[in-house]
A = this chain, B = another copy of it.
Amino acid sequence: MALKTLSAKAAAALDKELMSTGAFSIDQLMELAGLSVSQVVYRVHPLNKGSRVLVACGPGNNGGDGLVAARHLRHYGYQPTIYYPKRSKSDLYQRLAKQLEDLDVPFVEDFPSALKSTDHIVDAIFGFSFSGEVREPFPAVIKALEETKLPVTSVDAPSSWNIEEGPPKSGVGSSFQPEFLISLTAPKPLVKHFQGRHFIGGRFVSPSIAKKYDFEVPEYQGLDQIVETSPTGQKL
């Protein structure tokens, strides 16, 4: 069976539809997306194997998912640290950051030194709307993610990868291969280049929406907001 993925264009249309006819608010979707991300981290990094997690957040929705995930991780007992150099001015993002500050979660500006005092990393820099080139200050961050021996969990896409084509042919990100990836709602075409453990999250899609966008709602178990698949998205 052919792998069903969502192109960048289809993912953007789906998001738009969820928030219009689907009647979801962005607050609600981001809360559920971030919750999914936190569940992947909980599953792949048991608390007693290292509770320090560095969450690298980009300027858009992917970064927002990271902020929500960090809050849930803090409540689970992890010690998150946030790198969020290009803060969005939108009200929602400011509120998500404030919620973390109220939990005494530190925000740091020096990524290389933060890397030295964490056990694992969440890459919430760029998601399905990324295209073109990696802007400052992120090239050095992605290079550091590429070179670190610490495990990285990428949200929706390994940052710098083209959503359709996968890793860039050369330069920053070309050898970035995170250990873990969570695809939100459905895998994007880039998963054909992914070699780590892959999860799907976002247990809020109705069967009719999935049918319209021609992807499968995975078989979530119990209360899980995530399900593990093969690296490229097939049922295990």
Contacts and interface: CB of A to CB of B under 8 A. Distances in A.
Interface of A: 22-25, 27-28, 31-32, 35, 38-39, 42, 71-72, 75-76, 92, 94-96, 98-99, 102-103, 203-204, 206-209, 220, 222-223
Q: How many copies does the complex hold?
A: 2
Given A23-B102, A38-B223, 12 more contacts: A22-B102, A23-B94, A23-B98, A23-B99, A24-B95, A24-B99, A25-B25, A28-B28, A75-B204, A76-B223, A102-B208, A223-B223
A76 B206 contact: no
Nearest to A96: B23
A122 B31 CA distance: 24
- Tell me what chain A mostly uses at the interface: helix, strand, loop, or mixed: helix
Contacts of A32: 31
8 contacts: A23-B96, A25-B27, A27-B27, A38-B223, A42-B223, A75-B203, A75-B220, A103-B206
Contacts of A31: 27-28, 31-32
Contacts of A204: 71, 75, 99
A22 B99 contact: yes
Nearest to A206: B102
Contact of A102 (B25, B42, B209): B209
Contacts of A208: 102
B76 A222 contact: yes
B95 A23 contact: yes
Nearest to A209: B102
* Nearest 10 Cβ contacts at the A-B interface: A23-B98, A23-B95, A27-B27, A102-B206, A25-B27, A27-B28, A75-B203, A31-B31, A103-B206, A28-B31
Contacts of A39: 223
A75 B39 CA distance: 17
A183 B152 CA distance: 37
A75 B22 CA distance: 15
Contacts of A209: 102
A92 B25 CA distance: 9
Contacts of A72: 203
Nearest to A102: B206
A72 B103 CA distance: 27
